Structure 1
Amino acid sequence: MSRALKSLGIVAAALIGLVVLLVTYILFFINPNDYKGEIAKVVKDKTDMDLVMADTLSWQLWPRISLHLGKTTLTDTQAGKTLVAINQADVSVQVMPLLAKKIAIDQVILDGANLDFVQYANGATSWDRMLAKLKSAPEEKSDKIDFNVSVLNISNSALHFSDEKSKLDGKLDKLLVQATNIDLKKAFPVRLKFVWSQTDAQGKTLVADNDLNATVQLDQDAEKYLLKGLTARSHLSGSLLPAPVVVDVESDITADLKQQQHQIDGLKLAVEYQDPKLTKPAHVDLSGAINADMKAQKVTVTGLKLAAAYPQAGLKSPATVKVSGDVQADLAAQTVSLPALAIDAAYPAANLSAPATFKLTAAIAADLKQQLVNLNNIQGSASYPETGRPAPITADLSGALAANLATGAVNFAPLDVKANISDKAFPKVMPVHLVAPITANWKEGKIALNGFTLDALSIQTKGQLSASLPGIAATAKPGTPATQGMTLSGNIATSPFNLRQLMQTLGMAAPVMADSSTLQRVSVSTQITGNENSILLKGLNARLDDSTLTGEAGLTDLKTGKIYARLNVDKINVDRYLPPVDPNAKPAPAAKTAEGLLPVELLKKQNLDVGLTVGSLTAMKYPVQKLQVTATAKDGVVNVSQLGGSVMGGRFSFPTTIDVRGAKPVLSVTPSVEQMQVENVVQQFTKKDLLAGIAAFNGTLKMSGNSVDEWLGSVNGASKLSFNNGLLKGVNMMQLVTTEMGKYQALLPFITGKDAATLVSKQNNTEIANFLGEASITNGVVQNKGLNADLKKAKVSGTGTFSLVTQQVDYSFNLLLDKSIVGEGLAGYAFPIRCKGKVTDVASLCSVDGKAVKDMATKALLNSKEVQKVKADLAAKEDAAKAELAKKQAEAEAAAKAKVEEEKKKAQEKVNQKLNEGLQKLFNR
């Protein structure tokens, strides 16, 4: 026994000695560098690439067999491209498994590896030749390799990527791969770090710094793979992004390839958006679990939750949105469903008393094979609590939506919205309820509201609307205008409503009007038509109390925004809608505004063509019939070609052009008045009963400025005024003359044959049979050169001026009275009258030239019948005396002559007495 043990010991010692001698021989007598050429040849045969090992190879045999590789390159010599460059590498295998003819890899250490990958413009890559060679070689498998690596360490390595077609240049840099105790049957830890950087054709950059940790289990026999405790972070920055982004991921991932079952548990995804404009980084967080049964081709996402916060500057707190729900997908049937999707959002704006909120729940089912999507049980609610509103604006939505992705058809059957709206203008809440079945086709660009009903504040609006917008259809060419080929059609109609009651419901005070029964019956109905050029309301019918508006209106040129209207009003009394007039109130002074009476900037922008006809209009108590207004405006020129109607028994027309293109507005007016009863007009504007009669006026006027004063001071033109059957109240021109003549009461019987009481009329007016005046107007001053009037039993002619600015008149008239008034003695005399002063001071405006009247009276007296009778009697007596004297001359020439002389003396004395009496009465006043 002892001998056997001794023999065994000798054999063992001999074997050990042999092994020692073998190892000593390999380490000291075999140089691995002698095999560089053979190794390079093998690589060339396998890859068609050239391997160059620049540094000395070294190895060791205990406690493990390892090979140290220095600087090494793998080059495509044909392309002149180095694909791989390694700084150094160490690979070792365990010694003991080698005795069992197995290879157990122990350590793999790689430092400074650099790979270069180029994708050329034609789609080929710099690695294509080597990959094609490897694929052509027979696959070599061995079950004698035991992949059990105690240490894997790859550091300072990089991959350079270049895409010559897209001009994208990228680099995977600072690569670090660390793993220990790698056993394909057990779990082992792995860490991966790298930085990816790229620059695109526009020079924009992207940098991603990545760090990943996980425990990996690779069961190749069961084909089951596990990543447990996976944590990954990626920090993204560069000019390609508006701000840096940080992404964190956590999960457990299981992949069972045999059972085709894949599971992601405990998924947590966090995204941080580091915009410096925000008060702090924005966040997006997602969690859930994913189960994929690829055998049954079903994928389920359970417990899905997404939460986002955006802390925008100016918000009281971050804006938030939350989404939750489960997702079920059947890949075989190509269906996806979200049976309980929920969305909850809040936006805390600075002008809100509390965050605005929006909530939505729905059940979503999608058939991708049939391309059908259905949203059922849609329930939504929103609240907008703006500061200053008496209550938040709220809305509740419900309905169901069906969409066909193949045809583009969408059907909302129906959309049901209930809202409560409040505003400062109406402190009470306004409820609104809309029910609208909606059909649309996004591929064709069509939408229709079929038979919608809108209830708001006891007003019900019904109608239907449809629009075709091929410019936004899926088949439209990019850049097509949205309105190209557009068509619109539909109609709307409201129920009759009481506007006063509506305002009361809203908590608003109804305007105070002269007639408190107004605004109680209001309704509107119209048809809507449109195309890419125009949108019109046709068949418009709007009722306001007793008035009806009909016609059409809209935009006839959408590009220029041209407004078009042709409207008709049957009748309207505007006075009913004006504030009540206080008869004792003093006229308020005209307000002066910096903008002036005309909205110049607004007129410059107008582009319109409008026409209005009013059958019967009452304004300021004037009954206007058949009022017509037609106006156009473009490029700062407003042309009112028609502005006229019938009023006060006559017609008026005021065509006007307003030009606002210059420094000041310029107005051109061509007024025309025919057969106008002026009594009420004059009384309305002067507040006095001054004038009555029938007037006609024509003129051509031009003025500039933007106030009444500027217009009156700058008006230039010509005018013609005629007047018939008139009465100038408060002024009796004939009385002015007869009153002046009344100063000579003793002479009136001699001059006129009438006494003062009969001659002087008690009427305080002037009757005007007809009047004609032509005038020129220069800078607001009216110059009358030929003014003629035919008064009742008198004629007037004269000239003068009237200032529109100061209202001052200065006229000189000649009044020729009829002989029925002043007798034949004064009938041929023209009495001079002067009217000077302010036109409103009627009583003291006109006066007679007293000195001229005195001279006329003296002349008339000397030519009066009484004086002529005295002279005739005197001549007759003188002739008789002469005859008597001749008869008795023979008898007593001397005596008769004496007697004749005596009689002549007496007669002369009587004539002198009569003349003295007359002159004393004339001059003794």
Structure 2
Amino acid sequence: MKAFGKILGLFFLGLLLIVVALGFALTHLFDPNDYKDEIRQIARDKANLELALNGDIGWSLFPWLGLELHQTTLASAATPDKPFADLQMIGLSVRVLPLLRKEVQMSDIRIEGLNLTLSRDEKGRGNWEDIGRPAQASATTGKPAETQPAPQPTEPAEEKPAQPIKLDIDSLTVNNARIDYQDAKTGQQFSAEGIELTTGAIREGSSIPLKLSAFFGTNQPVIRARTELQGDLRFDRALKRYQLENAKLSGEVSGEPLQGKTLTFGAQGELLADLAAQIAEWNSLKLSANQLLGLGELKVRDLDKEPKLTGGLSIAQFNLREFLEGIGQTLPPMADGNALGKAELVARLNGTPTSLALEELNLKLDDSSFTGRIAIADFAKQALRIQLKGDRLDLDRYLPPKSKEAEGTSAARKTEVKETVASAGQSGTTPLPKAPTQQAWSEEPVLPLEQLRKLDIEATLSLAQLTLNKLPIENATLKTKGKGGLLNLEDMRGNLYNGTFEAKGQLDVRQQVPQLSAQKRVARIPVEKLIQAQGEKPPVKGLLDMTADIKTSGNSQKAWVDTLNGNANFVLNDGVLVDANLEQQLCQGIATLNRKSLSGEPRGKDTPFEELKGNLVFRNGVANNPDLKARIPGLTVNGNGDVDLRVLGMDYRVGIVIEGDKSAMPDPACQVNERYVGLEWPLHCRGPLELGAKACRLDKDGMGKIAAKLAGDKISEKLEEKLGDKVSPELKDALKGLFKR
């Protein structure tokens, strides 16, 4: 038995020596380089591929089936002079015996200097699309072949599922590879160069270390990026499950969108793709972009249909201003140079290939906190959807500061007002102030028209406290929609100084000159607070009720005022005319008629009133007020005139009527007697709005008429006393009329 085993062993040893000898003979006596033409023809016929073997073919047969190709190019047989791939060298070898067991055991695979040049022509056809299709047989000119009978259908044999080939590769190395892509139709170009790939042993179910680095570039827009990816790859082809563990992606990117700046980025985590379940996950996500740091998790399902993204994202507090400036994004000028200094975010993610939503959002921006939802409903249309609720927002910090041109306009007007105030005096005996002439508004553009024309937005915002134009608005809500250049302010309301306001409006930027319209209503808002918020001294106090319906056009403060048209009505209750004593003005008129001089100082500098009301009609920036009325204890005030909003000036005719209150006036020179009751004492008010009633003076023409009337009444009384019943009533009336003319 031992002898039989020895003989069997010698037999197999001899067989192995014969196989080795045969392999040695084949590799040394058979040269594949002699068959290059045949190899090219096979590639042409079977794969429609033009194969150029410019270098030597090296090979080995046993126990490794090895192959080395040098200086090789590949092209479509349709365009043989336009290769789409070339390589300097590819080397690989595989054990022969494991192939019989459907196992691939390979040594190191090395690829050197691979270049892929891919392109699409103007019809969208790629230069690689014909590869792999067998060449069509050439047409024959002889007799047509006899028709063969159609084969009879047979019972299909029961197919067994193919067993996947077991892979066992020592390593894979790719050095100095490059990929170029160009689209003639769009002009777009893409390149990946300096591609370096190294792996450890590639075995199914085992952890495979890998490292990949490359430089990327595009021309629309011009972008350059350096990237490096490291991790441990694990895969199971039977389960269609692929994992990249301990993944680390890092790099830098620069180019036109970054305006010469550089973004340094990084991402880490555990990646999984389960093609059987059609899901992909990125767990334990850590990301960075310059100083921005974030954590999160991402999951994509329905990979074979329309992928759907879910997950979460948390971004730690960072300086948003510095981050944006660091990636070349120029911020518009803001009143507060430190605005956008702090930002942090926590949100759930939901998305599709065309949309992304931040749900359950918690956003902190500077001193403000918001909750709600922000979404891009359509990336292509930039459709923005916002639903936010916040605690407070000082919007003034983020608005543009006054331009030099606006400051110059404001300074010129303030100088004019200051000079007018200085010459106006306090007693009302000085000449009537001059009408202002300096423009009060800036011509700087306000609205970003191009961005607004592209805007697709639906937004709902509510804030516990909003500061706008220095006004502390409480419980503010805003709802707006905009699309195709037409923006609608559907509702804006809030509380202001214990009063309320509401507004609706529309902005149409579809044409070259923007059109604006608005409807407003305010109730019981202290008007002096509104004026003080603009840095002006209020000439009047009181609770304002107002409704307005206005239209305007243009894209600057000046244009909006110059083209302002519409109407409004207002009521000012429980008010005060500040630094304006109408009683003193009335005293001056009475003293003038009494031919006396005032001997004392006014008892007060203000004039309280119960109600001040009227209607306004706006025509190209000038508000006409035909029916001003005010109720002051003992007095009624009527007026009409214009408020020129272009220069913030006024020109009014005012009449003061003494009513039932006939108490003594504060100065003996202006004692009221019954002859003055019911007369309308005329005032003319002209000058900057800031002067208020201080811009009012006695109307000399009107005073002359009152004097003539009073003189006529006095003569009539004397005639009555002298004539008594001695003349007929007709003659008596004629004489009275003569003196009243």
2:679 to 818, 829, 834: 829
Opposite residue 408 of structure 1, the aligned amino acid is K
Give distance in 1, aligned partners of 2:348 and 2:168.
43
Tell me if 1:797 matches 2:638: yes
Tell me if 1:541 matches 2:362: yes
1:362 aligned partner: 199
Q: Relative contact order, CA 8 A, sep 6+: which one is greater? A: 2
How do residues 236-251 of structure 1 correspond to structure 2 at under 5 angstroms?
A: 247-251=52-56
Secondary structure, aligned partner of 1:756:
coil
302 and 743 in structure 1: CA distance in 2 versus 1, 3 angstrom threshold: closer
Tell me if 1:415 matches 2:247: yes
Shift of 1:682: 2.2
How do residues 129-144 of structure 1 correspond to structure 2 at under 5 angstroms?
A: none
436 and 702 in structure 1: CA distance in 2 versus 1, 3 angstrom threshold: same
Secondary structure, aligned partner of 1:406:
coil
For structure 1, which runs of at least 5 residues remain unmatched after alignment? 1-217, 314-330, 350-354, 474-481, 749-754, 876-925
Give distance in 2, aligned partners of 1:706 and 1:501.
31
265 and 775 in structure 1: CA distance in 2 versus 1, 3 angstrom threshold: closer
Secondary structure, aligned partner of 1:230:
helix
How do residues 9-24 of structure 1 correspond to structure 2 at under 5 angstroms?
A: none
Tell me if 1:307 matches 2:122: no
591 and 247 in structure 1: CA distance in 2 versus 1, 3 angstrom threshold: farther
How do residues 257-268 of structure 1 correspond to structure 2 at under 5 angstroms?
A: 267-268=69-70
Could you tell which deviates more after superposition, 700-709 or 493-502?
A: 493-502
How do residues 136-535 of structure 1 correspond to structure 2 at under 5 angstroms?
A: 226-227=30-31, 229-230=33-34, 232=36, 247-251=52-56, 267-271=69-73, 283-288=86-91, 290=93, 293=96, 297=100, 300=106, 304-309=110-115, 334-345=166-177, 357-363=194-200, 365-367=202-204, 376-382=208-214, 394-419=226-251, 432-455=265-288, 460-468=293-301, 470=302, 472-473=303-304, 483=306, 486-497=307-318, 522-530=343-351, 535=356
2:608 to 764, 767, 783: 767
Count of equivalent residues: 599
Could you tell which deviates more after superposition, 639-648 or 436-445?
A: 436-445
2:626 to 767, 785, 805: 785
1:735 aligned partner: 584
Opposite residue 89 of structure 2, the aligned amino acid is L
Shift of 1:700: 1.8
TM superposition score normalised by structure 1: 0.54
Shift of 1:525: 0.7
Give distance in 2, aligned partners of 1:295 and 1:570.
71
Secondary structure, aligned partner of 2:602:
coil
Instruction: Note if contact 1:224-1:254 (Cα within 8 Å) is conserved in structure 2.
Output: no
1:644 aligned partner: 493
2:528 to 665, 679, 691: 679
Give distance in 1, aligned partners of 2:71 and 2:326.
52
Instruction: Note if contact 1:251-1:265 (Cα within 8 Å) is conserved in structure 2.
Output: no
Instruction: Note if contact 1:499-1:520 (Cα within 8 Å) is conserved in structure 2.
Output: yes
For structure 2, which runs of at least 5 residues remain unmatched after alignment? 1-21, 120-162, 182-191, 411-439, 724-741
Shift of 1:302: 6.2
2:599 to 757, 760, 770: 757
Give the greater-gyration-radius structure (CA).
1
Opposite residue 438 of structure 1, the aligned amino acid is L
Secondary structure, aligned partner of 1:682:
helix
1:811 to 627, 631, 652: 652
2:150 aligned partner: none
Instruction: Note if contact 1:694-1:724 (Cα within 8 Å) is conserved in structure 2.
Output: yes
How do residues 67-82 of structure 1 correspond to structure 2 at under 5 angstroms?
A: none
String of CA shifts for 1:460-517, please: whole Å, max 9, x gaps. Answer: 422212111x3x42xxxxxxxx63xx43322122334466897999999999988898
Give distance in 2, aligned partners of 1:585 and 1:255.
86
String of CA shifts for 1:48-99, please: whole Å, max 9, x gaps. Answer: xxxxxxxxxxxxxxxxxxxxxxxxxxxxxxxxxxxxxxxxxxxxxxxxxxxx
Opposite residue 571 of structure 1, the aligned amino acid is R
String of CA shifts for 1:671-712, please: whole Å, max 9, x gaps. Answer: 111111111322444734333221111022233444444433
Give distance in 1, aligned partners of 2:400 and 2:557.
24
Secondary structure, aligned partner of 1:495:
strand
Shift of 1:790: 1.5
Instruction: Note if contact 1:360-1:379 (Cα within 8 Å) is conserved in structure 2.
Output: yes
Shift of 1:444: 4.3
Instruction: Note if contact 2:347-2:362 (Cα within 8 Å) is conserved in structure 1.
Output: yes
229 and 302 in structure 1: CA distance in 2 versus 1, 3 angstrom threshold: farther
Instruction: Note if contact 2:346-2:363 (Cα within 8 Å) is conserved in structure 1.
Output: yes
Give distance in 2, aligned partners of 1:439 and 1:253.
39
Over the residues paired in the alignment, what is the CA RMSD in angstroms? 5.3
396 and 542 in structure 1: CA distance in 2 versus 1, 3 angstrom threshold: same
String of CA shifts for 1:635-669, please: whole Å, max 9, x gaps. Answer: 44322111121113311122112234456433221
Give distance in 2, aligned partners of 1:512 and 1:664.
24
Identity %: 20
Instruction: Note if contact 1:787-1:799 (Cα within 8 Å) is conserved in structure 2.
Output: yes
Secondary structure, aligned partner of 2:703:
helix
